[in-house]
Every structure is written in structure tokens, then in C-alpha cells.
Amino acid sequence: MTRLVGAVLNAVRGFLIGLAEIVPGVSGGTVALIVGVYQTLIRSASSLVQALLSGVRGGPSAMRGPWRQVSWAVVIPVALGMITGIFLGAWLLEPLLEDFPVHSRAVFAGLILASLWVPLRMVGSAWSPALVLGAIASAALTFGALGLPGATLPSDSLIWVAPAAALAVCALVLPGVSGSYLLLTLGMYQPTLSAVNDRDVAYLGVFIGGALVGLGLFVRALQWLLAHHLAITLSIMTGLMLGSLRALWPWQGEGRELLAPSGDVLPVIALGVAGVVAVVALIVAQGALIRSSRAAH
């Protein structure tokens, strides 16, 4: 029964991560960090990459060691939940983002703002002037990058799908980076969303292949950074998350320029506050689960 409950909870966590991956400006890695599966997924992804590399070099028998290090009890339900969240999110969010862009961005901004507490807390007493400067620098760079006009890659060609996916999958590994926003910047967001809704097997196959390559190239580097330079890595993540709020300012022009609040402002503010409350509730619930688990053991 305990395993079943754990699998269901992990599937829900994956579902939330999948939803986040659909939303421009919201990082799936950030949500993974909030719901408490980030480090497990990073370790498992690294072990999976190592298993595949070992298999190439030494055959199937060489894969057994790293293969056993993958936390399959977490990875499988999270992956199933993510797939469900991505498909359901594409179906639900496409009309909402088109019809209510200001209100949608307000909710997402509240989610990111509140989730800043996660890396801040993880660095804890290790914060120093150098780390603060690193966070400010990464925030400034992210803020500036997200204000750039979108690229115009020829989205009707599959040639660009795999490289775009390899770049976007970094969002699963690096909290604060939005995969959907990276796709939006490259001009590949709408084609990808349409491919998900239309079940375009060719497009999705190339996309998944590119994402797997990107994951293999990036995940082990980040794991090394988290193991050897945790504080500076988390401080930079904090800056990335803070800078990404630029993409989620509710009032924006066609060229992504920031505009002054207009129209009925109070509902927009209320939705932003609701996003903050939702993340705070998740963090509190996660803390309660960890405490209860420790008490049980």
C-alpha cells in the first residue's frame, strides 16, 4: 500500500513537471525542485546515461551496474505523469494562453516568485557577497536574454527540431530555465505544441531523440557541479529563476516589451497571489511529508 501511494504521489509530481514544461517561462526543473524529486531524477538520469555509454563500450553486461543505480520506482511514475501532463497541458493551455495571456502570465509569475525560496533555502548560511553577485549577474543576463525578439527558424523542416529539443531539455535539468520559452525564442514553440496536440509521430520522434541527446550531454555536467560547487550552482539557479520573471510580466507588447499595468488590474494581482499561495502550499506539504517520513523511520 505504501509503495502504491508513493507511486501515485510521484506520478502527480511528474504531472506537475509536465504541465510546467508546456508553459513558457515556467521551468520543469524548478517544479521538480519544489516537489522534491529533482536530485533523484538528476542522479537517475546520470546513471542511465552512464549505462548507455557503458553498453556502447562494453556490451550489455557493462550496463548492469549503472542500470541498477537508476531509481526506477521514482523515474517510471514521474515519467508517466510527465507524459500525461504534457499532453493534457498542451490541450488545455493552448487556448488559455491565446485567450487570456495577461492572466496566465500572472499565475505563472506567482509560481516562479514563490519558488525562489527553494534554492535560497538550499544555499542557506553559505550565502556570501560573491554568491549574491553571481545571482545578480545571472538574473541580469537572463532578464536581458528573455527580452530578445524571437528567432525565425524554418519550423516546417525537421532539421531544426532535434537541436531545438536538445537545448530545451536543459530546462528539465536546470531550474529557472524554461524549455517552452527557449522554444518560443527559437520560433519552435507553436509547431511543437501543435505536434503534441496533432500526435505528429515524425515530429515528436525527432524531438524526443534530440532531447535525449541533449540530456546525455548536459546532465552529467550539472551533476558534477551540484556535487562539487553546490552553493555557486544554486546561487546561479536563483538568478536564472529571478531573471525569468521578465518573461512573465503580465502586460507585454507584441515585441515582448514590458508595458505598464492596464485594464482590470485587481484580478491579475489576485491570480499572481494565488500562484504564490499554491507554491507555498506545495513547499509546506513537501516539508510535512519529509518530517513524517523521518518520524516513521
Q: What percentage of the chain has pLDDT greater than the value 70?
A: 89
Longest CA–CA separation in the chain, Å: 64
Determine the average pLDDT of the residues in 35-39: 83
Of 68, 72, 78, 4, which is closest to residue 35 (Cα–Cα)? Answer: 78
pLDDT at 82: 93
Half-sphere exposure of residue 231, counting CA atoms within 13 Å on the CB side?
11
Q: Hunting for cell 504531472 — which residue is that?
A: 15
Of 28, 60, 78, 41, which is closest to residue 179 (Cα–Cα)? Answer: 28
- Of 20-24, 113-117, 200-204, the range with the highest mean pLDDT is 200-204
Q: What is the pLDDT of residues 233-254, one digit of tens each?
A: 889 888 888 887 887 889 988 7
CB 106 within 8 A of CB 278: no
Binning pLDDT at 50, 70 and 90, where does residue 194 land?
confident
CB 12 within 8 A of CB 98: no
Choose between 153 and 217: higher pLDDT. 217
Choose between 18 and 34: higher pLDDT. 18
Of 151-155, 226-230, 280-284, the one with minimum mean pLDDT is 151-155
Choose between 191 and 56: higher pLDDT. 191
Structural domains counted in the chain: 1
Rounded to whole angstroms, the Cα distance separating 88 from 180 reads 15
Q: What is the pLDDT of residues 255-266, one digit of tens each?
A: 778 899 988 999
Choose between 50 and 94: higher pLDDT. 50
pLDDT above 90: residue 129: yes
Q: What percentage of the chain has pLDDT greater than the value 90?
A: 20
pLDDT above 60: residue 178: yes
Sign, CA dihedral 41-211-190-197, equals: negative
Choose between 113 and 151: higher pLDDT. 113
Q: Which domain holds residue 116?
A: 2-296
